[in-house]
Amino acid sequence: MSALAYQLVPVSGWNPLVLILLALIVGVLVYMIYRLGNHSYKETKYKREPFLSGNSPADDPDSLHIGGSNLYWGFTRALKRYFEPLVRGHTGLLNDYLYWFVITVVVIMVVLYFV
C-alpha cells in the first residue's frame, strides 16, 4: 500500500478493540447522564399519544404520520428552477434514452479528437 494510503486509512484507527473500548466509555457516560434524570415518570393511558388538541388519534389516523413526498418539500420547492427541468427531462420514453446515447457519443468523440 502506498505511503499516502496508510495515512488515509491507518489500520490502527480501525482496530476493533479500540472501538469496543470507546463504546464502553461512551456507554458509561450515557449511564451517568441517565442517572441525572427525573425518576418520577409514571405511565398513564394517554401520555404517549400525539397531541391533537385532546382528540383521540383513532378519529383521524391520517394526521399521525407525515412521510413520503411531504418531507423535504421545502427544499424541492426552493430549488424549483433546478428540479423542474431535471424531472421533466426524465421522460421515460425510449426514444429520448437513445437520443442521449447518440449525443454523448458525439460529444465525447469531439472532445477526444480536438483535445
Partner 1 sequence: MNIDIVQHSPALILAVPLLFAFLTPLVDRISEKGRDALFFLGLIIMAFFVAIMAYEVYTVGEWSYVFGGGTVTPTGADSSFFRILFVADGVSAMASITLTISAIGAAIYSYTFMKDETGLNKFNTLFFLMVAGVNGMVLTGDLFNLFVWFEVASVSSAALIAFKTYEGKAVEAALKYMIISVIGGLFFLLSIGFLYGQYGVLNYQLLAENITGTNLDKIALTILVVVLALKAGAVPLHFIIPDAYSMAPGSVTAVLVVASQAGLWVLFRVVFTLYGVAVNTLTIGWIVIVLGILSMFIGVTMALVQKTVKRLMAYHAISQTGYMLLGVGVGLAVLGKPEMGLYGRTAMEGGVFHIINHAMYKGLLFLTAGAIIFKTGIRKLDDLGGLGHSMKWTMGFFIIGALAIAGIPPFNGFASKLMIYKSVYRFNPLLSIIAMVVSILTLASFVKVFHSIFMGPKDEDIYDTGDVPKPMLAGMTILAAFVILFSLFPGAVVSNIVEPAVEALGVI
Partner 2 sequence: MELSKTFDKSLWVFHVNSGSCNACDIEIVASVTPRYDVERFGIKLVGTPRHADVLLFTGPVIKKTKERVLRVYEQTPDPKVVMIIGNCASTTGVYYDSYAVEGPIDTLLPDDANLIYVNGCPVRPENIINGVKEAWLYLEELRGDQG
What is the per-residue binding string for partner 1 in 12-41, x denoting contact by CB under 8 A? --x-x--x----------------------
Q: Give the nearest distance from C-beta 52 to partner 2 in angstroms.
A: 9
**Shorter beta-carbon distance to partner 2: residue 40 or 95:** 40
Output DSSP code: residue 87.
Answer: H
Classify residue 92 as left (phi > 0), alpha (psi -120 to 50) or beta: left
Cell of 75: 427544499
Candidates 13, 54, 67, 85: give the one binding partner 2 (CB under 8 A): 54
In the chain, the N- to C-terminal Cα span, in Å, equals 33
| H-helix or E-strand spanning residue 86 | helix 80-89
Q: Give the nearest distance from C-beta 39 to partner 1 in angstroms.
A: 26
Of partner 2, partner 1, none, which one does residue 76 interact with (CB within 5 to 8 Å by kind)? partner 1
**Shorter beta-carbon distance to partner 2: residue 43 or 62:** 43
In sequence order, the 6+-apart residues with CB closer than 8 A to the CB of 108 are none
Q: Are 97 and 104 in contact (CB under 8 A)?
A: no
Of partner 1, partner 2, none, which one does residue 104 interact with (CB within 5 to 8 Å by kind)? partner 1
